């Protein structure tokens, strides 16, 4: 078995992570729009985040990234304090393939298992599908919020039936069982599409002339 050790982030690295992935830019942007008087009546702003499950919390939520998530929640509260109770919400979404998530230890492997389980249960959503569900079902009056006043669209991922099955498969994962227990193909396909690859009908073996030839 291959093992590696990661040193915890120091305070400087933690502060840099919060600066990049926290809510400061968001709040400053909204404050400037409000100061300029250009926000429409009933204005609302959303900021997407990922919280994850118990399997990923040790390195994700309980790590340096978690500090940035807490900052994001606090900035949402500050915006609401200035502009109204419904002006700003953090929206917790399900796991998806991004450049950031694919570089975080454990998270990509978790994603391959999660995708297969959710597909088998008829609950799998891509980015567009879950945002469509967000706008159709979570932005009306009286929508339930969690303790941090977030909107939750990760409810299908974190449902007991999904997490119980993911947890059952987790200790069984090996190179030999990956094809049976996880969906590496789906993860790879989504990763390639982030960079414009894996598109049907495109011959990637052909040379491409990057020059733009007039008319």
The fold of 39-194 is Rossmann fold (3.40.50)
- pLDDT confidence band for 141 (50 / 70 / 90): confident
Looking at per-residue pLDDT, the higher value among 55 and 75 belongs to: 75
Q: Answer whether residue 88 shows pLDDT above 70.
A: yes
Q: What tokens appear for 82 in the block?
A: 């200035």
Instruction: Report how far apart, in Å, the C-alpha atoms of 46 and of each of 17, 92, 133, 182, 191 are.
Output: 20, 10, 14, 32, 25
Q: Among all residues, which ones are annotated catalytic?
A: 60
- pLDDT confidence band for 210 (50 / 70 / 90): confident
Bridge-based pairing of strands 45-49 and 88-92 is: parallel
Q: What tokens appear for 108 in the block?
A: 């990509």
Q: Residue 94, Cβ neighbours under 10 Å: how many?
A: 27
193-201: average pLDDT: 88
Give the residue among 84, 52, 46 at the shortest CA–CA distance from 66: 52
Q: Residue 202, exposed/middle/buried by CB under 10 A (0-12, 13-18, 19+)?
A: exposed
Write down the domain spans for the chain: 39-194
Q: Which of 28-32, 60-64, 187-191, 205-209 has the highest mean pLDDT?
A: 28-32
The span from the CA of 124 to the CA of 116, in Å, is 8
pLDDT one-digit tens code per residue, 19-55: 999 999 999 999 999 999 999 999 999 999 999 898 8
Q: Answer whether residue 215 shows pLDDT above 70.
A: no
């Amino acid at each position: 078995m291959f093992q590696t050790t990661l040193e915890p982030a120091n305070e400087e690295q933690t502060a840099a992570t919060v600066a990049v992935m926290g809510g400061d830019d968001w709040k400053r942007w909204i404050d400037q729009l409000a100061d300029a008087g250009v926000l429409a009546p009933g204005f609302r702003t959303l900021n997407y985040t990922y919280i994850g499950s118990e399997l990923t919390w040790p390195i994700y939520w309980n790590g340096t990234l978690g500090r940035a998530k807490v900052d994001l929640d606090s900035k949402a509260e500050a915006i609401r304090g200035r502009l109204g109770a419904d002006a700003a919400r953090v929206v917790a979404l399900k796991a998806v393939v991004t450049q950031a998530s694919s570089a975080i230890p454990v998270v990509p492997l978790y994603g391959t298992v999660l995708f297969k389980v959710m597909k088998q249960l008829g609950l799998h959503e891509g980015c567009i599908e879950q945002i469509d569900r967000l706008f159709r079902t979570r932005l009306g009056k009286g929508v339930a919020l969690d303790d941090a006043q977030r909107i939750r669209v990760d409810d299908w991922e974190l449902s007991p039936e999904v997490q119980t099955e993911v947890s059952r498969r987790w200790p069984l994962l090996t190179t030999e069982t990956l094809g049976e227990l996880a969906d590496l193909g789906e993860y790879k396909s989504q990763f390639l599409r982030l960079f414009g690859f894996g598109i049907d009908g495109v011959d990637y073996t052909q040379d491409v002339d990057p020059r733009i030839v007039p008319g």
